[in-house]
Structure 1
Amino acid sequence: MIGVANMDDVRAIETQAQLADLPSSTYAMICRGASINLSAPALSFFATVDEYRNGECWTYGQLVRDITRTANLFSRFGVQRDSVVAYVLPNLPETHFVIWGGEAAGIVCAINPLLEGEAIGELLNASGASVLVTLAPFPGTDLWQKVQAVLHKVSSLKHLVLVNPADRMPHERRSAARALQRDECSRLHGPGGIHSAVPSHVGIHDFSTAMASENGDVLSSAVEIGAEDVSSFFCTGGTTGLPKIAIRRHANEVANAWNASQFLGESIGPGKTIFCGLPLFHVNAVLVTGLLAFSRGAHVVLGTPQGYRGDGVVNRFWEIVEHYRINFFSGVPTLYGSLLDVPVGEHDISSLEYGLCGAAPMPVELLRTFQERTSVRILEGYGLTEGTCVSSVNPPLGERRAGSIGLRLPGQPMKAVVVDENGRYIRDCVADEVGQLVISGPNVFAGYTRADQNSGIWMEGGDGTRWLNTGDLGRCDSDGYFWLTGRKKELIIRGGHNIDPAAIEEPLHRHPAVQIAAAIGRPDMHAGELPVAYVQLKPDTAATEAELAEFLRREINERAALPKGIRIVDAIPLTGVGKIFKPALKRREMTDALGAALAEAGVENTTISLIDNNSRGVSLHVELSDPALQVLATSVLGRFPFAFSISVSARD
């Protein structure tokens, strides 16, 4: 399949009935992709942007060998189909070995290394991990310190596998880096080293040494991996309260990778090079720039352990594209905004075919400006962890409708439905009618690890099929393109990072002076949204915004969730039944944020009106006092994901 241009192509793929021939596991899928050409480059890595020209490279034969070795290592540790191997790692080649080797032996659990130690400990306990793979102590990183501090709280843990960052340094610097690593161990833990800092019942292993001694030809386990076996746990909830962990099966991941490959067609396959800059604890990086690419024999480039956050990666991105002849990369709107500030100059980026954008709404003006300046086409899409990753994308060969999340993937039904006040299905929406977005298909996950968290997420969709309620509002036009119009889940999306408002609200409610707290996202042209909190104090109490901010710094384990502003108000708006009415707060922040952005750009004396449109969501109208500022105002407003109009007030 060369790719999709319209819904007729999607339906044509579905009639081919190729799903029955899918591999039974992610390991088998990678092996099938590798068999296209075992000597082809599969995975490249450079530790710093200054070394991008001299990156390490694994062929497909070497990639499968190291994945197999890793799986056999875990099997030797006693990992079985229901055992959990957790990883808390940055973007390293070893991270891929652990993900796919872990799925070939047991269940892999991805944990965000940017979380604080307490949050990491909560997720390790919630997953029941028996094996943990993380970084060894190393100068300039604090991951080991965060993990080590909570190991004594994880009763299920039996084996600790440490990846030494020195192993990925260039050969000429590797010996010196290993000496620094040993010095860091001594500095942190004295003569006893790591063994003195880890519970005595936990075995400690060096990843490179242990993995290298394993057989890389065949899996040692006699247990055959089945499509319905659980492959992975991905964390989707906030970091306070009860962790929410999504259960995914091999069939989910294999189907989503196959469906996406049919949709994207020849843009991902042998001879194509994919850049991975998103973090490998996130489903987009793991599936789109991981399993999908490997299943098609493409070449994946890992750019620094921190990905796009790595020092100099964005500033030298076009150099990296030119050197590796990158064909495809995936990012979030904030990345594209940052790349706009980096001139392409004389760099040859003609190899770039597409950039995939998801995780948050992309401002239409940003999309258009990026494509005009770089000639790189952006495919805006939509997905969620519970749907494995990708649910819809703008077609690579057809019309890319700015502001749309595109056509659904083949084999993955998706629709907007009308529901009653209790969330029960009434009927399918007609074209352009806003409703609840629901999805079904082999990509849809098995549920959350906690049974009580599965209440209300499933829906009978009028056809006898079980549908997953995404929590998002949207519409589908007459040509099959979907459009998001709101998020019922109220997640705050900061630079592609999902923040549960409860992660802010619950700690605030523990403050003795707080009566009501509500966290929402404030529009931001750089981060997409920034968390802010509204607080109503109890009668006869006092607290300042600075005091509440300091309180939250001690209570919140997720740095990204720390509010950028706290607003103390006399009364938080409530609905008729006493629930917090967040739309009123969001409108206030939206008006203030847009007005501030315009003023900062030099567009003064504006009047901003917000308009609710049943089929398009919230839009805004800006009235200017000076017609000469209209072009500048259009440029500023275009960096936000809202429809807008501009008028000029009549002069006196």
Structure 2
Amino acid sequence: MPATNTTSTHDHGSSGGSDLLWPRCQSPGDLAVIEAIPLEQRGLPACTYDVVLRAGRLWPDRVALSVMRGGSDYMACAQRTFGEPAADVTRAAKALRRCGVGRHDAVMLISPNCDELITATLAAQAAGIAAPVNGSLAKEHIAQLARQSGARVLVTACPQLDPAGVDIAATLVAAGLIDTVLLLRPTAAGPPAGSAPTLDGADVAYLSALTAEHDAEPMIDGYADSAELASLFHTGGTTGAPKLAAHTHCNEVTDAWTVAINVTLDEDSVLFAALPLFHVNAVIVTLLAPLLRGQAVVWAGPLGYRDVGLYQNFWRIVEHYRLAALSAVPTVYSVLAQIPVDADISTLASAVVGASPLPETVRRDFRVATGVELTEGYGLTEATCASARSFADDPRPGSVGQRMPYQQLKAVEITPDGLWRDLPAGEVGTLAISGPTVFPGYVVSRTDDDFVLDGRGTLRDGWLDTGDLARVDDDGFVYLAGRAKDLIIRGGHNIDPALVEDALLAHPDVTAAAAVGRPDIHAGEVPVGFVTVRAGSSVTGDDLASFAGGRVTERAAAPKAVTIVDTLPITDVGKPYKLALRAAAAEQALIDALSGRPGVLEVRGEVTAGRPSVTINVASGADRAAVEHITKSFALDCTITTTTSDAHDDQETACVR
């Protein structure tokens, strides 16, 4: 699909002229030109409900959403024009108001992706505040988030969509946290058969039944002030305790707009979405940004990138829907690069990667397989979503991209007494962000009228301490130098290592603990632990893995393995050195994967250029192609060496992902 640098011909009216709303943003040099005009003069919608209604006015008959039932049945989908979500969101928002949701009330949403969840998420922001939650969290975590949000209304999956939905609802109702439960149906399922399930202590109904009772006349009180809260997204933070990061309507609309102007595709391009709607990327990048630009989005089924059928049919899905762009994590692209292209994918022009470091081998193999260059991005929940993006036509090796318009990024030195000192361009320090996308804080309590927010040490004079180490050059390009938070990213979900470490340290024989992510072909990373134990202890790694698994408050954080070591590695200044542990974990992952493979002589993990890598030594007669095939399932940089009969090595680089 050809890219265009022209401004929109459809955008006009109260939202601002096309020359202001859609400036050229296709190269690094455009940044200064864009910022020469103040953001407040750009004419952005004030709130997300305005974004929805505006799209309905401008493109009432253009296809907006195609929501698949699943990867195996990818041609079966629910399709709606831009005019239909505007009406559906309005009706659903009125239904939420009827359930008692006011402007400062949160609506908890726990459901796999489906057509109705898109409507419910936007309606929650129109009526009150959306609080989307990952349903795979431990019930204790979900209950804690319900208490923090103060939500009394829960939108969740009916048993046909996800049997866990009503089970979670029952737990929250029994705890006295929820008194209204609204059920979502599977995509394209038709009217519900029979009445809704009953729960003692709560009103239960299908959301679709309630929305049918209301008209689609825009609700005047749905237009929130830009400074009011739009959503609460949960994040593990740095302590392991669940936190709710608050987003204002200004945060979300501005970040979605900067994403939309950075897209190099025209309005007829079709985007692909597969991340869960409890993830900020799904809401900002694949929901609000396309609504602003008038671009169609094809949504994967409820399993998203965990759907085996999606991978089996992926290239046919690209051809069928004429997809032009997608975003995913490195492990997804690693898998896709190994799937033979069995369809016409000439429309695919953009593939954005983020959430974890991108191995160069993944970039190379995806480009070879598809002809599409992966472009990196950077962002975090506390800065709404996206803060930096790359340019396919102007690659900056090692960079995650240039700062987004109107966001300021810098590296600072944080002294032991907490003082900040700005560092010169190109010097590594803690990355800090300011601008209209920086969140107002975490929810710490609420009054009768509103939430009480606190930056909890991450905010200083409008600047956000990201916890990441980076350098920023004179052009605003960011080069990450390590993850200060050392988050473990499992299937796109952030796991704080402190959850694992605290559980391990609770064992009486453990004297020190560190948790890192081990590469995994299915989840990208899984948590593993490294510990030291007291002298004379007979405890084993399996004992400790079982012990910690029973204590973590989040099932996904249960360590897959625990290794007992003599000492944990530290840096020259005495700080924990987790890169070495990540390299050791990568080594073990490859050892397990190559176990029993004839001719594999050695697997060695190491730190190379600031990232974990693995060297595999094979005998000259080994089936090298088979070894490479196995290692390509892991998102890692790898070198395979061959030992010949005269003990000389013949070395070449292979892809381990």
SS of the residue aligned with 1:417?
Answer: strand
Q: Distance in 2 between matches of 1:30 and 1:223?
A: 11
1:313 aligns with 2:310: yes
2:428 matched to which residue of 1?
A: 434
Give the equivalent residue in structure 1 for 2:188: 168
Q: How does 1:266-277 map to 2 (within 5 A)?
A: 267=265, 270-277=267-274
Change (3 A) 1:227 1:593: same
Structure 2 counterpart SS, 1:52: coil
Name which of structure 1's ranges 381-390 and 7-16 shifts more when overlaid on structure 2: 7-16
Q: CA shift at 1:596, angstroms?
A: 6.3
Change in 2 beyond 3 A, CA 1:54/1:646: closer
Shift of 1:234: 0.1
Change (3 A) 1:9 1:641: farther
Match of 1:564 among 560, 572, 582: 560
What is the distance in 2 between the residues matched to 1:623 and 1:534? 23
Deviations 1:135-178 (A, max 9, x none): 122387333223323322143x332111233x732x5xx77xx3
Give, as a single letter, the amino acid of the residue that structure 1 aligns with 2:145.
L
Identify which of 288, 291, 294 aligns with 1:291.
288
TM-superposed CA distance for 1:15, in Å, is: 1.6
The 3 A distance-change label for structure 1 pair 508 and 626 is closer
Change (3 A) 1:447 1:628: farther
1:68 aligns with 2:90: yes
Partner deviation per Cα, 1:313-351 (whole Å, 9 max, x = no partner): 111111111111111111111111121232112x11111
Summarize the Cα distance change of 1:587–1:369 in structure 2 as closer, same or farther, 3 Å threshold: closer
| SS at 2:310 equivalent | coil
Q: For the residues of structure 2 that align with 1:60 and 1:357, how far apart are their CA atoms? A: 27
1:611 CA drift (Å) = 5.4
- 2:216 is equivalent to residue 194 of structure 1: no
Equivalent-residue separation in structure 2 for 1:208 and 1:38 (angstroms): 22
Deviation at 1:635, TM superposition (A): 8.7
Give yes or no for the alignment of 1:420 onto 2:440: no
1:621-649 deviations in whole A, cap 9, x for unaligned? 85968789999799988877677778889
Deviations 1:370-418 (A, max 9, x none): 011111232211111111111111125x223454311111111112233
Using the alignment, how far apart are the partners of 1:406 and 1:629 within structure 2? Answer: 41
- Give the match for residue 216 of structure 1: 216
Contact between 1:365 and 1:635, CA under 8 Å: does it hold in 2? no
What is the CA–CA distance in structure 2 between the aligned matches of 1:287 and 1:341, rounded to whole Å? 29
Residue from 392, 401, 409 that aligns with 1:406: 401
Q: CA deviation at 1:242?
A: 3.3
Q: Contact conserved, 2:93 with 2:127, CA < 8 A, in 1?
A: yes
Percent of aligned positions that are identical:
36
| Residue segments in structure 2 that go unaligned for 5+ positions in a row | 7-23, 445-451, 649-657
The residue that corresponds to 2:472 in the other structure is 476
Which whole-Å CA distance do the structure 2 matches of 1:444 and 1:530 have between them? Answer: 30
> SS state of the match for residue 7, structure 1?
coil
1:7 aligned partner, one-letter code: P
What is the match of residue 321 of structure 2?
Answer: 324
1:315-464 to structure 2, matched below 5 A, reads 315-345=312-342, 347-396=343-392, 398-431=393-426, 433-450=427-444, 454-459=455-460
| Alignment deviations for residues 397-450 of structure 1 (CA, whole Å, 9 cap, x no partner) | x2234543111111111122333234532222332x322111111011111112
Indicate how the Cα distance of structure 1 residues 366 and 423 shifts in structure 2: closer, same or farther if over 3 A, else same. farther
Which residue identity does 2:211 align to in structure 1?
Answer: M
Q: Does 1:13 align with 2:34?
A: yes
Contact 2:324 2:347 (8 Å CA) reproduced = yes
Which SS does the other structure have where 2:109 is aligned?
A: strand
Query: Which shows bigger deviation, 473-482 or 590-599?
Result: 590-599
Could you say what secondary structure the match of 2:311 adopts? Answer: coil
Q: Secondary structure in 1 aligned to 2:463?
A: strand
Give 1:458 deviation, angstroms.
Answer: 2.3
Deviation at 1:245, TM superposition (A): 0.8
How far apart, in 2, do the equivalents of 1:582 and 1:280 lie? 31
Q: Name the aligned partner's letter for residue 66 of structure 1.
A: D
Distance across 2 between alignment mates of 1:100 and 1:639: 37
Does the alignment pair 1:522 with 2:518? yes
Match of 2:276 among 254, 274, 279: 279
Q: Which residue of 2 aligns with 1:134?
A: 156
Q: Could you say if the C-alpha distance between residues 643 and 551 of structure 1 is closer, same or farther in structure 2, counting changes exceeding 3 Å?
A: closer
Unmatched 5+ stretches in structure 1: 183-192, 461-465
Are 1:124 and 2:146 matched, yes or no?
A: yes
Offset at residue 539 of structure 1 (A): 5.8
User: What amino acid is the match of 1:617?
Assistant: G
Tell me how far 1:86 sits from its aligned partner.
0.7
List aligned pairs for 1:578-597, cutoff 5 A.
582-593=578-589
Partner of 2:255: 256
Change (3 A) 1:367 1:602: farther
Tell whether the 8 Å contact from 1:88 to 1:111 is kept in structure 2 after alignment: yes
**2:123 corresponds to:** 101
Pick closer, same or farther for the CA change 1:223–1:28 going to 2, 3 Å.
closer
Q: Which SS does the other structure have where 2:113 is aligned? A: coil
Residues of 2 paired with 1:194 and 1:242: CA distance?
A: 33
Q: In structure 1, what residue type is equivalent to 2:216?
A: G
Q: Does 1:39 align with 2:61?
A: yes
Please point out which of 26, 29, 51 is paired with 1:29: 51
TM-score by length of 1: 0.85
- Could you say what the CA RMSD is over the residues aligned between the two structures, in angstroms? 3.3
Q: Is 1:617 the counterpart of 2:607 in the alignment?
A: no
The residue type equivalent to 1:414 in the other structure is: L
Task: Report which stretch shifted further, 237-246 or 641-650.
Answer: 641-650
Where is the helix percentage greater, Structure 1 or Structure 2? 1
Following superposition, the deviation at residue 535 of structure 1 comes to: 2.9
Quick one: which of 106, 112, 122 aligns to 1:84? 106
Post-superposition Cα deviations, 1:56-101, rounded to whole Å, max 9, x if no partner, equal 2111111100011111111122211210111001111111111111
1:12 alignment partner, SS class: helix
User: Is the Cα–Cα contact under 8 Å of residues 67 and 100 in structure 1 kept in the other structure?
Assistant: yes
- Name the aligned partner's letter for residue 293 of structure 2: R
Cα displacement (A) at 1:599: 7.6
- State which of 507, 528, 532 in structure 1 corresponds to 2:528: 532
Alignment CA distance shift 1:79-1:457 (3 Å): same
Alpha-carbon distance in structure 2 between the residues aligned to 1:54 and 1:620: 42
| Distance apart, 1:516 and its partner CA | 3.3
Question: Within 2, Cα distance between the matches of 1:481 and 1:496?
Answer: 24
Deviations 1:572-630 (A, max 9, x none): 45689987554553453345556666888777445858457xxx534768596878999
Distance, in Å, in 1 between the alignment partners of 2:39 and 2:102 is: 30
